[in-house]
Structure 1
């Protein structure tokens, strides 16, 4: 069973990126940040995603 794909608004993406920066600055690993934000590593590394 696959997960339903989500589409995020520009505001949601900006919030997630800011949250990710804060978590990384606090010493969390990339894996922990991705899991907390419910984002896959493939999404993060996709060209044009950031």
Structure 2
């Protein structure tokens, strides 16, 4: 159940949120909002796969 929820969230994230790795964003120069989005996407992806 939880894994399915995170899989759906990962698909929504992919459709809505920007991909900073494709934009080759330098994380040392990223804003707080960009870091928050990056961290959220990473968390959801890890939960969906694990």
Q: TM-score, normalised by structure 1?
A: 0.42
Q: Which has the higher helix share?
A: 2
